[in-house]
């Protein structure tokens, strides 16, 4: 799987909304600079995940 194997305890999504390699725009704003950020889907799983992000501009 692109992005590496599904981490232990996570299950590969049976019907993912996006496919690996899809370009997306984040629509949440719980962290400064996150809303509107562009991302590429590397893998998917049926699980709640937390994202670590490094802004391109500081």
pLDDT tens, position by position, 11-56: 777 888 888 899 999 887 777 778 888 888 887 777 776 767 677 7
Q: Which tens digits make up the pLDDT trace of 3-13?
A: 667 677 777 77
Helix, strand, coil % in the chain, rounded to nearest 5:
0, 15, 85
Q: Which residues contact 19 (CB under 8 A, 6 or more apart)?
A: 41
3-state secondary structure of 45: strand
Q: Is 50 exposed, middle or buried (0-12, 13-18, 19+ CB in 10 A)?
A: exposed
Question: What pLDDT is recorded for position 23?
Answer: 93
For residue 1, pLDDT beyond 80: no
Res. 58: pLDDT tops 70: no
pTM, two decimals, is: 0.52
| Residues in a beta bridge with 24 | 39
């Amino acid at each position: 799987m692109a992005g590496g194997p599904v981490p232990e305890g996570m299950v590969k999504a049976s019907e993912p909304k996006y496919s690996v390699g899809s370009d997306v725009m984040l629509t949440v704003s719980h962290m400064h600079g996150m809303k509107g950020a562009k991302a590429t889907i590397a893998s998917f799983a049926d699980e709640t995940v937390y994202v670590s992000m490094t802004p391109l501009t500081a």
